[in-house]
Amino acid sequence: MPSRETHENRQHSTTVRPYSYYECRMPELFMSVPMHWHGEFELIYIRQGRGEFICGSEKLEAEEGELFLIPPNMLHATYPVKERRLLYDALVFSPVMLGAGSGDRCTSECIRPLINGERGLHVCIRKTAENYGELKKAAGQIFVCVHQDSPRMDLLLKSELLRFVWLLEESGDLVVKSKGGGAEDETLRPALEYMAQKFREEITVEELAGLVHLSESHFMKCFRRTVGISAMEHLSRLRINAACEALCESSDRIADIAFACGYSNLSNFNRQFLKKAGCSPKEYRKRNRLDE
């Protein structure tokens, strides 16, 4: 299990408000969601487009209307398919929303095993699932509660999250016994965590391979098999995503943003940005400034 010091730095939940909502828009706000993990559950509803979701050892394409429930501590990432627009709602919520601190039998037998990995989830809920209609309706109500954002609506939010898990239990094939595996995910986790923390610095394949005690060639094969892209491409996406966020939220000079995101050469940054975003950094800022 990863340490507290190495998980995703963003705080998704607090004691007072144990969840966070995100409207994820690609490519408007960022190019992708690179591989990461956190100690909360994540519920996703795809509103538009199609994307590739990497969840643990699974690589899944999903489209408008489909749902994901990602358990705590699972490595996961999201990429748009063929540069198409992808829009989805994401609710990242603490296990306490499901009563994780309780000692009753339903928590002990149904909830806590999902948290600690004793039981697994078929994380993607397809439109062909037997009780998809009920799950979609519950997810819709969950996001209504989130948008209303009040202590009173948190009561309903808790009940709808529990209902969502109950519907998964009722389906019989969406909540399953864990099959083990994931060893390769765990092997690469230190390298992924290091890249997420140090992407602004110079990082080499040799350095990453050494972190996980693999030869460079074996590391590169394992990384591509697990993450879906090369380690250097993953590093580039981390940097470009950070640049996208800075372009939207700050008035810093483009050159300063490039250097702050790990690029020592402005022309290389412009070239890489154009390749991934389909426009120049200046044009991207003009389209997506949040204060305009």
CATH code of the domain containing 67:
2.60.120.280
**Binning pLDDT at 50, 70 and 90, where does residue 10 land?**
low
**What whole-number percentage of the chain has pLDDT above 70?**
91
pLDDT above 60 for 203: yes
**Binning pLDDT at 50, 70 and 90, where does residue 230 land?**
very high
Q: Identify the domain containing residue 71 by its residue range.
A: 4-177
Per-residue confidence (pLDDT) for residue 82, from 0 to 100: 74
Per-residue confidence (pLDDT) for residue 2, from 0 to 100: 39
pTM greater than the 0.85 cutoff: no
- If DSSP states are collapsed to H, E and C, what string results for the chain? CCCHHHCCCCCCCCCCCCEEEEEEEECCCCCCEEEECCCCEEEEEEEEEEEEEEECCEEEEEECCCEEEECCCCCEEEEECCCCCEEEEEEEECHHHHCCCCCCHHHHHHHHHHHHCCEEECCEECCCCCCHHHHHHHHHHHHHHHHHCCHHHHHHHHHHHHHHHHHHHHHCCCEEECCCCCHHHHHHHHHHHHHHHHCCCCCCHHHHHHHCCCCHHHHHHHHHHHHCCCHHHHHHHHHHHHHHHHHHHCCCCHHHHHHHCCCCCHHHHHHHHHHHHCCCHHHHHHHHCCCC
pLDDT above 70 for 57: yes
pLDDT above 60 for 179: no
Say whether both 129 and 44 belong to one domain. Answer: yes
Say whether both 56 and 21 belong to one domain. Answer: yes
Can you tell me the mean pLDDT for 139-163?
Answer: 96
Say whether both 17 and 134 belong to one domain. Answer: yes
Say whether both 112 and 98 belong to one domain. Answer: yes
Per-residue confidence (pLDDT) for residue 9, from 0 to 100: 53
pLDDT above 50 for 3: no
Identify which has the larger pLDDT, 61 or 29: 61
